[in-house]
Amino acid sequence: MNARQGLLKRYMALLKMEVEQTMAYRFSFFTSFLAQIVKTLVMLAVWIAVYQRRETVAGFSYSMMLTYLLISQSVNNVYGFMNDAERPISKKIRQGTIGFDLLKPVNFVTARLMENVGKTTLQLIFAVLMFLVFKLCMPSLALPQSPLMALLFAVSLVAGYLIMTFTSLISGLGTFWLMNDWGLRNAKNAIIQFFSGALAPLSMLPGWMQGVMNVLPFKGIVYVPTMIYMGQYDVASALGQIAVQLVWVVIMYALTRLTFGLAIKKISINGG
């Protein structure tokens, strides 16, 4: 067994633990799943009311809007019911148990990412389930136009997940400086919910705001994968959007490593 395989095994072990840990909280897991369905229903109800009086909103027809809402909500669910890759880190920093993580023979950032992938695996299953339930109730819900588009959607989804998770990890590491994670986490969640397109299609926003979106990484989190799913981009521009996402993945990863490097130099481990 070579060293690389050995390392991969270490990370896979963490992934498996996180799956088991999440399943240990069955009640919490199912209730947050249920809450997510309710949230989606509420959003649908609002938009159905809006479309009672008009045919299209900002170029989105009624059925397009329903598809956008359901896909963007499903994508959001894959990333996490509470979008909280930072919460375990913050908790460990505040309690001082982060020392044990730093004492393991693995790369800290990769290890935390793999733990989150473990949690996300279960969320993916539930997001697909939720989508299928809605598809049964609403047969008009669109599927990807071609296998190629489905593939591009999957790639874009993974890229969006990585942008999202690295953003959360940076915010989690911020606890080393602030010793409080609540403010940072809420600010981050508010920004991401709005600027990622999880609440409404970004193309509805005024032009200057879209300009802001285009220089931020967050539209790659929900908006881009959802629009690819809906076939709103042709193959060439879909590939272009994915390329931009991947650039952001690299940048956010580098920033996470940088933040960790700075953190470990100046951190203090709480408690005696």
Partner 1 sequence: MIKVQNLSKDYVVKLKEKGLKGMAKSLIHTEKKIVHAVQNVNFSIGEGELVGYIGPNGAGKSTTIKMLCGILQPTGGSVSVCGITPSKNRIQNALNVGAVFGQKTQLWWDLPVRETFELLKRMYSIPDAVYQKNMKDFTEYLELTGFVDQPVRQLSLGQRMRCEIAASLLHSPKVLYLDEPTIGLDINVKIKMREFIKRINAERGVTIILTTHDLQDIEELAKRIIVINHGTVGFDGSMKELAARYAGGQHTVSFTLDDEVETIMLPEGMQGHYSLKKDGYHVTITHDAALPASDIITAVVTQYHISDIDIKGPQIEDVVLEVYQQ
Q: Which residues bind partner 1 (CB under 8 A)?
A: 6, 9-10, 12-14, 16-17, 20-21, 24-25, 95-100, 102-107, 264-269, 271-272
Quick one: 23 or 58, whose CB is closer to partner 1? Answer: 23
Quick one: 28 or 237, whose CB is closer to partner 1? Answer: 28
H or E element, residue 56: strand 56-57
CB of 30 to partner 1, least distance (A): 16
Quick one: 15 or 230, whose CB is closer to partner 1? Answer: 15
- Please state, in angstroms and rounded to a whole number, the distance separating the CA atoms of residues 230 and 43: 19
CB of 7 to partner 1, least distance (A): 9
Say which residues have a Cβ less than 8 Å from residue 57's Cβ, sequence separation at least 6.
50, 51, 65, 204
CB of 91 to partner 1, least distance (A): 11
CB of 104 to partner 1, least distance (A): 6
Quick one: 72 or 90, whose CB is closer to partner 1? Answer: 90
Alpha helices (runs of H) in the chain, residue ranges in sequence order: 3-24, 26-51, 62-79, 86-95, 98-102, 108-137, 147-173, 175-178, 182-195, 207-215, 223-229, 235-266
Quick one: 24 or 236, whose CB is closer to partner 1? Answer: 24
CB of 35 to partner 1, least distance (A): 21
| 29 CB burial (10 A radius; 0-12, 13-18, 19+) | middle
